[in-house]
Amino acid sequence: MSYRLIRCSLEYGFVIAVTPADAGPTDAIASYYRCADWRIGDQEADRFHEVSRDEALSYFSGQAAHMGFGIPPDREFATLDDALAWRKVERVSGMPAPRFFELLRSAYLASEAVDSFDLRSDDPENVVEFNQLCLEQLTTARALVEHCKAHGEHVIEILGKLEN
């Protein structure tokens, strides 16, 4: 039997899985599972627990909007443990991977733009544009550091984990 994640929060701290993986919302044979970073009722955190179809589908409604809508992976999992392992990797130790990489990409693009300037130019517009790019690069770098701090990590630690 295979599983598919059908609902993910933005930071993958919450996911809903269904089995069989090709089940639709009206299939009577479908079973649903929920995993969250926090305890829900008497259910342990960071483990999949079976939930009813109605409960699982309620997480697609506006009442669950405070979690945001992350993009589920376009793949199936052989077991719920495999889905749990994928979730842990995607979280990059508690860091919402999409936002981290968005900030990292912005910092890289800003540094590439800064490197393209001829700093020996006397053109005042060149200096103003260069200063603006430096300010954007600094702002992005600060946002990256603050984002990491908010998740209990340091940029260097996360980059080291990504290399492994």
- How many CB atoms are located within 10 Å of the residue 65 CB? 10
CA 110 to CA 138: how far, in whole Å?
9
pLDDT in tens, 29-67: 999 999 988 888 898 988 999 999 988 888 876 555 566
CA 49 to CA 32: how far, in whole Å?
8
pTM (2 d.p.):
0.56
Give the DSSP H or E segment for 32.
Answer: strand 31-36
* Closest to 7 in 3D by CA, of 43, 41, 56: 56
pLDDT band at 142 (very low <50, low <70, confident <90, very high): confident
Q: Give the largest CA-CA distance in the chain.
A: 72
pLDDT band at 132 (very low <50, low <70, confident <90, very high): confident
pLDDT in tens, 73-109: 889 999 999 998 888 777 654 455 566 666 666 666 7
